[in-house]
Amino acid sequence: MTLSIDPRTTAAVFIDMQEAVLSHPAEPVDAPTVFSRAAELAQSVREAGALNIFVRTSFLPNEQDAPNPLRDFQKPKKPRPERWDQLVETMARTQNEPVVVKRTFNAFHGSDLDHQLRSHGIDTILLAGISTNLGVEGTGRSAYDLGYNVVFVEGIMATAKAANHEYSVNEVFPYLGRVRPMAEVFEALSASA
């Protein structure tokens, strides 16, 4: 089925397009490529008259507000570089594009993402970002639970291992929404402008 986008009820939600993530190892495409493509998508969304929402991960300097349950993989705490949690400038965020702070893989948990979407009349989310199997998948699962139509923008997401990316895209995302190549999303946005 051909993708159709109504810009009045659509938002692109970008996961972790922030300074620290720009240098993360990423597959199947590198992080700078994901960021460049995300910036193109953000501009296309603006031109179509739809909404961009930027989600970034951030914690207090002492990370007291970071989740820390017992788990097999514990990242060692280390000082974070200055501006690690700031959006990259190439996203060219405008003052009326919301920024949501998340502290878990799921951007809806403990944030105002659902409020931002509902207050703007959004029912469809174009989801992109890093990491595919963590932040994008965690957010996509909640978006599905909350009744949003989710379009996963293939080509504008990546993660540390290509196999993890492929599993999410091929085995998980089709149960949560629609997976569409970025070219099809750009075409649908252009047709809706």
In a domain, 66, yes or no: no
pLDDT of 61 reads: 65
pLDDT over threshold 90, residue 21? no
In a domain, 67, yes or no: no
CB atoms within 10 A of CB 34: 27
pLDDT over threshold 90, residue 186? yes
pLDDT in tens, 119-141: 999 999 999 999 999 999 999 99
**Per-position DSSP letters for the chain, written without gaps between them:** ------GGGEEEEEE--BGGGGGS--BSS-HHHHHHHHHHHHHHHHHHT-EEEEEEE---TT-TTS-----S--PPP-PPPTTTTSBPGGG---TTS-EEEESSS-TTTTSSHHHHHHHTT--EEEEEEE-IIIIIHHHHHHHHHTT-EEEEEEEEEEBS-HHHHHHIIIIIHHHHSEEEEHHHHHHHHHHH-
- Please report which confidence band the pLDDT of residue 1 belongs to, taking 50, 70 and 90 as the band edges: confident
Close Cβ partners of 108 (under 8 Å, ≥ 6 residues apart): 114, 139, 142, 143, 146
pLDDT over threshold 80, residue 183? yes
pLDDT of 84 reads: 64
In a domain, 114, yes or no: yes
pLDDT in tens, 76-119: 677 776 776 778 889 999 999 999 999 889 999 989 999 999 99
pLDDT of 69 reads: 61
CATH assignment at residue 22: 3.40.50.850
In a domain, 51, yes or no: yes
pLDDT over threshold 80, residue 177? yes
Q: Rounded to whole angstroms, how far apart are CA atoms 47 and 190?
A: 8
pLDDT in tens, 27-69: 999 999 999 999 999 999 999 999 999 998 775 666 666 667 6
In a domain, 76, yes or no: no
What is the arithmetic mean of pLDDT over 166-189?
Answer: 98
Global pTM? 0.91
In a domain, 159, yes or no: yes
Query: 104-120: string of b/e by CB count within 10 Å (b at 16+)?
Result: bbbbbeebebbebbeeb
In a domain, 64, yes or no: no
In a domain, 31, yes or no: yes
Name the domain count of the chain: 1
pLDDT of 131 reads: 95
Domain membership of residue 133 as a residue range: 7-58+85-192
- Please report which confidence band the pLDDT of residue 22 belongs to, taking 50, 70 and 90 as the band edges: confident
pLDDT in tens, 4-19: 999 999 999 999 998 8
pLDDT over threshold 90, residue 165? yes
